[in-house]
Structure 1
Amino acid sequence: MCGLVGFLEGVRSSGMDEASALLGRMAATIVSRGPDDAGVWADGAGIGLAHRRLSILDLSPAGHQPMASAGGRYMIVFNGEIYNHLDIRRELAAAVAADGQGWRGHSDTETLLAGFAAWGIRATVERCIGMFAFAVWDRQEQVLTLGRDRLGEKPLYYGWQGRGDAACFLFGSELKALKAHPRFSADIDRDALCLLMRHNYIPAPHSIYRDIFKLPAGCLLTVSQRRREPRIEAYWSLADVAVDGVRAPFSGSAEQATDALEDLLKSAVGQQMMADVPLGAFLSGGIDSSTVVALMQAQSSRPVKTFSIGFHEDGYNEAEHALAVARHLGTDHTELYVTPQQALDVIPRLPGLYCEPFADSSQIPTFLVSQLARQQVTVSLSGDAGDELFAGYGRYARNSRRWARVARVPYGVRSMTAAGLRALSPDTWQAVLGPVRPLMPRSLRKAHLGEKLHQGAGTLAARRVDDLYLESISRWNPADLVLGGREPSTCLRGQPLALEGLDPMQRLMALDALVYLPDDILVKVDRAAMGVSLESRVPFLDHRVVEFAWRLPQSLKVRDGAAKWILRQVLYRHVPRALIERPKMGFGVPVDRWLRGPLRDWADSLLDESRLRRDGFFDPAPIRRKWAEHVSGQRNWQYHLWGVLMFQAWLGES
């Protein structure tokens, strides 16, 4: 695992020494992604590449980057792992022998370059099983290509900064590296801020800065000095995989499907255990991480190192379940019970770790477990993505049931009813219905009834299940909060995906895998782990597993009210059912209580009305109202407030 950064100048440059020094400064900002080695390369064509290396495979100097292909045509900086690169090497044997130079080392970066020379960039990437981001300069064609893995495990930002002859195309693993370039303008994009306030993260292709973008997962981008407008093409599409899988479902028995899934997962886990450095796994004791660890231990001749953290607060501790699974499997288990102060001490580090505002509060325990693991290993496998592939989130079933009820009523009737409910504000409804509330049926005697009626109006006005999903995962309505911003369209709002043939639950799973997984879950893990120089790998995101999962009928994912049914069947072959069967628990911290207690002064300062007005990004009124209600204990607005707080904290350090 590594970090990369570079630039392509709008015109040719001759300041080689100056360019190399600048590249070194840019790469130094992401040293935690690669503390073991550094390299820069620049030439008179105006291209510069820099690399920070975390040595995982081929620890020798033969793995040093930037790396040139054997024939000298391609120069690459690469971040990630190609798990099947030895298989690709065998395919390339004849081509490598023909060039008369042979292999210089055994890194997957050298394998990629040989593939580019033999087959071209896209054809090589399509052969790869792995997680990656790369930038490769074609000296012959004078074209820069950026690439990102299929599911978006590894980050890659890019964009033009400056104008005319002074324009410069910047790219890199993290925004802080781009910011080190003198032409970076750092203009905050208020439209992207709208997305942050809705989701608590910023979905690709947007970033917090104007004219800087994230390369979408499964895509290649090409750009040159002659053709400055980047061209993006998808070499793999999860949406297509979902549609194709539903059209051609697995036709075998449940037992055959379980066998096939176990074989695929075992292969994925086995390949991801490849490393020349110590390796372990995060273990929460839940279905996903327990499955990964069980398959690791089944293929290891020694106890696998596993790591978990626990909290003393009720409702937030899974450590005891992880310990039980670890004891059964015989792993070398390390656990740490975190004090509130240890968790709180992470918060000042978050703006620097995430380099753009990011507000999933489970970023705190994710950093802590990464920090714990890094004391013993350099690579750690995780169970992320099991929920998105095997229908693990409760919101899938809830929103599917809501849609089944709503869709029976003609849209015109629902729309008129919704308009009537919205004709009065929530406060007005509360005032009107307050006196008669004691006379209402018990089911309607809800606190904050006016808000519930407006939420009901949103449900009635839904045109598709996507609308219910967006409502359920939205924090703020950005139009009520962000000054001068206009929320961009996304596949969740304004640009719905066709996803033909998918039922409501399958649509929700696909939307999560396209947006929430790469832009929240994988961002959270990548930045937390790389912040302590730990490589995190995700076996469920082997694209062969993803493609097979989408071929499985829903009856094998949800059965008798149990989510992830088929994954449970795989796990029960290794771990007793009694150790696993319990209610699902999120990986979180008690932010709601902390905001009323030890974090109150910190939050009060960031949410101060005069400070909000001075910064000029938010209307202070709705924020102050929610803050007062939260502090008083009237409401729990932790998710809304955490998004604002993370932006304000980031803004204070940017």
Structure 2
Amino acid sequence: MSGLAGLWGPAAGDEVLLAQVAPMLQALQQRGRGRSGFASDSAAGLVLGHCRAAGDAPLQPLGSACGRYLVCLDGRLYNREPLQAWIGDVPRMASDAALLLQAIGRWGVERTVQAIEGAFALVVWDRQARALWLARDPVGERPLYYGWHAGHFRFGSELKALQASPAFDPAIDQDALSLLLRHDYVPAPHTIYRGIHKLVAGALLRVDLADMAAGGSDEAAQGGRLYWCPRQALRAALDDRPDEVPTLEAATDQLEEVLQRAIGSRMHSPLACGAFLSGGTDSSLVVAMMQAQAAVPIEAWTVGFDDPGHDESEWASQVARHLGVNHHLHRIDALQARDLLAQLPQVWCEPFADSSQVPTLLASQLLGARKPVALTGDGGDELFFGHPSYGRALRNARLCGGLPEWVRSLARQGGRHLDAERARLGGWRALLAEVSADDVEGHYLQRVSRWRDPARVVRGAREPATVFGQRDLAMPAEARIQLLDFRMDLAEGILVKVDRAAMACGVETRSPLLDMEVVRLAWRLPQHLKYHDGEHKRILKHLLARYLPEPLVYRPKRGFGPPMASWLAGPLRDWAEALLDPRLLREQGCFDAPRVRALWEAFLRGERKWHTHLWNVLMFQAWHVHWHGARSLRPAHVPLPDVRAA
């Protein structure tokens, strides 16, 4: 567990620089309870800060022996052995940050970032070139925020590091807010604040004196420059498929071998590692393979719901009993969810609205009381064709693609005059929306959108373009859908949900299914090994059947979502009513208040599908009240870090 923060601005003394970075580090203490350190270049006006959980690793930032580089690393490297072999003359017990520093000293920043594999965000200061480098892992397991404000370039592992500065008060980005309403998250490079950005997964950003003088650059506004392009990597994997199609059994053998290595590199000691166990294919497989590598029972945590229609905890219990793991089960109800609501805006310091954040936070609290590390099953759906919505989008694209163009053109013209949100209720409006979609990306966007026309409810908004607008017609349609999910919902939604919840509870999460060797193998597999005759994640289930009896493997998929409709109509109603108060909505000025109120009242009348629309509005409202409505109540003084590192 660790976090990083820093700023670059006018030249200042060390004490001044420390006073500026101290509140940023303090805001990130949940990511690194235990020790904090800083290093500065006062002549350049730059300071780096780092916090990490107590342990044997040396305090960061680390400086190179030649004095040229300063390095901060948030995260972990998983290809240490090949790195050590390539670099040579590196102690086997060197920390990840020390290994990274050695590589940079030998190869430079760009080549090093392309060589390392892991879950990381990193910052490198090059004293000689007067350049600052920011980088993020290819999948997006660790976050990194940055932007120019009040004469400084500021950066940190979470938005709250930037928010900690008394001078930080940028405007809400209404365009980004429209993205939140569509996707339940604000995707990189955007953030909820105008002029503040997130580094895109797999991207590298270089900031130099010219950028500082200009107050930004096009590359910075775009979230950096990709050093690892998932589109190119996927296309290369498709081209690299063997001429001889592997059998299911042979491919499963290969996947098992690769996944065993990924789990082993992340588990280290089973005494320190727990796991999240939902009872679904992905988490069950990770837990089963963890237990196969452990000499003692591992510990796994499950959160279920008091609503049988949303509860998978009995499946998780059966999996745990069969594997012999030490299972911890807790069922959450609406009253306990209500108690957690006050924590959400602090944990997700940028508005976030995947409602499974509530049980994820509870699971993290329970696990964090006993273990510092948790393995997850994240990535299985996106890599192995696990979402039923993939098949629906492909089917609808195929059916609509056979219609005459004049029919689709009429549908598009008619759709411009209709309330797009009503299509969520089915009927002829839903049919018109499907016929209007241009291609498989458009059909999949219909499946995953909360608000289908969010700019109509966000005042003054123009919804920014995302990867949904990019096309690569040379790739199969099923690959294009999975690429969208890999770059959007996985990187910007699921991994954000898990990282923030776990870090807030002192837990470092590791996702073996997102190991780059697993990713490359999954992309090379023929489609029929992932989806065949209506069976999703075919090869994963075939592998899981080596560890579990078939009745625990082959069963209907159910998500990890809480019964939010009944919760909002019941015990959470007063909380929601206060946040959707017409006067509050008008004072904030972000939403079209009558539209939001009309939706809330329709929901209360029994149109239950509106709870998905309302939850992301509520999450923004709760965030806005926490971070802006009570801004004057935040402490004016933050203690300085008690440990310094040169």
Do Structure 1 and Structure 2 share a fold, with TM-score over 0.5?
yes
Equivalent of 1:160, from 131, 142, 148? 148
How many Å separate the matches in 2 of 1:4 and 1:629?
Answer: 45
**Residues 318-333 of structure 1: matches in 2 within 5 Å?**
318-333=312-327
Residue 111 of structure 1 corresponds to: 99
* 2:601 aligned with 1:617: no
Residue type of the alignment partner of 1:92: I
Over 3 Å counting, the alpha-carbon distance change for 1:624 and 1:141 in structure 2 is: same
Q: 1:211 aligns with which of 182, 195, 203?
A: 195
Shift of 1:258: 1.0
Give the match for residue 340 of structure 2: 346
CA distance in 2, matches of 1:212, 1:111: 31
Read off the aligned partner of 1:49 and give its amino acid letter: L
Find the counterpart in structure 1 of residue 132 from structure 2.
Answer: 144
Following the alignment from structure 2 to structure 1, what is the Cα–Cα distance between the partners of residues 63 and 251?
44
Is the contact between residue 191 and residue 487 of structure 1 (CA under 8 Å) also seen in structure 2? yes
Closer, same or farther in 2 for the Cα pair 1:616/1:425, shift >3 Å? closer
Out of 80, 83, 89, the position equivalent to 2:78 is 83
Three-state SS of the structure 2 residue aligned to 1:203 is coil
Residues 503 and 281 of structure 1: CA distance in aligned 2, closer, same or farther (over 3 Å) = same
State how far apart, in whole Å, the 2-side matches of 1:235 and 1:308 are: 37
Please name the residue that 1:234 is paired with: 226
Look up the equivalent residue of 2:337 and give its one-letter code: A
1:147-296 map, 5 Å: 147-162=135-150, 167-228=151-212, 229-230=216-217, 231=219, 232-250=224-242, 251-274=245-268, 278-296=272-290
Are the structure 2 counterparts of residues 450 and 548 from structure 1 closer, same or farther at C-alpha, using a change threshold of 3 Å? closer
1:70 touches 1:114 (CA, 8 Å); kept in 2? no
- Which runs of structure 2 are paired with 1:545-560 in the superposition (5 Å)? 545-560=518-533
Query: Where do 1:163-562 residues align within 5 Å?
Result: 167-228=151-212, 229-230=216-217, 231=219, 232-250=224-242, 251-274=245-268, 278-420=272-414, 452-476=427-451, 477-492=453-468, 495-498=469-472, 500-562=473-535
C-alpha offsets along residues 422-460 of structure 1, whole Å, 9 cap, x if unaligned? 657799xxxxxxxxxxxxxxxxxxx99997323322211
CA contact (8 A) 2:61 2:70 kept: yes
The offset of 1:194, in angstroms, is 1.0
Residues 69 and 126 in structure 2, CA contact (< 8 A), matched pair in contact too: yes
Change (3 A) 1:463 1:424: closer
In 2: Cα distance, 1:378 partner to 1:560 partner:
41
Deviation at 1:82, TM superposition (A): 0.4
String of CA shifts for 1:385-438, please: whole Å, max 9, x gaps: 1000011101000111111110001223211244346657799xxxxxxxxxxx
SS at match of 2:161: helix
2: CA distance between counterparts of 1:448 and 1:377?
Answer: 45
Q: Alignment partner for residue 128 of structure 1, among 112, 116, 133?
A: 116
Inter-partner Cα distance in structure 2 for 1:339 and 1:448? 31
In 1, Cα distance between the equivalents of 2:58 and 2:271? 14
Q: What SS class does the counterpart of residue 221 from structure 1 fall into? A: strand
Q: CA deviation at 1:38?
A: 0.7
Q: Which amino acid aligns with 1:219?
A: A
Whole-Å Cα distance in 2 between the matches of residues 423 and 39 of structure 1? Answer: 58
Residue 572 in 1 paired to residue 545 in 2? yes
Q: State the alpha-carbon separation in 2 of the partners of residues 191 and 424 from structure 1.
A: 22
Cα RMSD (Å): 2.0
* Structure 1 residue 172, shift from structure 2 partner: 0.5
Aligned to 1:135, what secondary structure does the other structure show?
strand
Does the CA-based 8 Å contact 1:421-1:453 persist in structure 2?
no
Counterpart-to-counterpart distance in 2, 1:124 and 1:423: 53
How far did 1:35 drift? 0.2
Cα-to-partner distance string for 1:93-113 (whole Å, 9 max, x where unaligned): 24x5xxxxx68x531111100
After superposition, the Cα gap between the structure-2 partners of 1:415 and 1:319, relative to the gap in structure 1 and judged at 3 Å, is same
Code of the aligned partner of 2:225: E
1:17 to 5, 15, 22: 15
Counterpart selection for 1:33 from 19, 31, 40: 31
Structure 2 CA distance for partners of 1:401 and 1:74, relative to 1, 3 Å: same
User: Per-residue deviation at 1:276?
Assistant: 9.8
Residues 194 and 374 (structure 1), Cα distance of their counterparts in 2 relative to 1, 3 Å cut: same
TM-score under structure 1 length normalisation: 0.91
Q: 285-294 vs 328-337, which deviates more?
A: 328-337
Output the CA distance in 2 between the equivalents of 1:587 and 1:576.
22
CA distance in 2, matches of 1:479, 1:626: 15
Q: Once the 2 structures are TM-superposed, how far is the Cα of residue 588 of structure 1 from its aligned partner?
A: 1.6
Specify whether residues 276 and 587 from structure 1 end up closer, same or farther in structure 2 by C-alpha distance, changes over 3 A only: closer
Change (3 A) 1:424 1:354: closer
Extract unaligned runs of 5+ from structure 1: 97-101, 428-446
Give the direction of change, closer, same or farther, for the CA distance of 1:482–1:583 in structure 2 (3 Å limit): same
CA contact (8 A) 2:279 2:312 kept: yes
Structure 1 SS opposite 2:308:
coil
Note the alpha carbon deviations across 1:12-64, whole angstroms, 9 max, x for none: x1321011122112100111000021112222111111111024xxx22x521
Asked if the contact 1:422/1:454 (under 8 Å) is kept, the reply is no
TM-superposed deviation, 1:589: 1.1
Paired residue total: 615
For the 8 Å contact 1:422–1:457, the answer to whether it is kept is no
**Aligned match of 1:99:** none
Classify the secondary structure of the residue corresponding to 1:346: helix
Do the aligned partners of 1:426 and 1:451 also contact (CA within 8 Å) in 2? Answer: no
Aligned counterpart, 1:433: none
Whether the 8 Å CA contact 1:425–1:450 is kept in 2: the answer is: no
The answer as to whether partners of 2:423 and 2:429 remain within 8 angstroms in 1 is no
Return the offset for 1:650.
Answer: 0.6
CA distance in 2, matches of 1:553, 1:410: 32
Deviation readout 1:446-482 (Å, 9 max, x if unpaired): x999973233222112211111111222222122101
Larger Rg: 1
- Cα displacement string for residues 120-151 of structure 1 (whole angstroms, at most 9, x for unaligned residues): 12222222221000111112211110010010
Name 1:597's counterpart in structure 2: 570
Q: Which moved more, 1:366-375 or 1:183-192?
A: 183-192
Conserved 8 A contact 1:133-1:155:
yes
- Aligned with 1:650 (options 623, 631, 640): 623
More deviation in 523-532 or 180-189? 180-189
Q: C-alpha separation between the residues in 2 aligned to 1:426 and 1:399? A: 18
Deviations 1:558-582 (A, max 9, x none): 1121100011111111111111222
Superposed displacement of residue 312, structure 1: 2.1
* SS of the residue 2:211 aligns to: coil
Give the TM-score normalised by the residue count of structure 2: 0.92
AA matched with 1:580 = V
Q: Following the alignment from structure 2 to structure 1, what is the Cα–Cα distance between the partners of residues 154 and 400?
A: 48
| Kept in 2: contact 1:277–1:378 (CA 8 A) | no
Q: CA deviation at 1:331?
A: 1.2
Write the distance in 2 (CA, Å) between the matches of 1:286 and 1:106. 37
Contact 1:247 1:501 in 2 (8 A): no
Paired residue secondary structure (1:307)? strand
Q: Shift of the alpha carbon at 1:277? A: 7.1
Letter of the structure 1 residue corresponding to residue 436 of structure 2: A
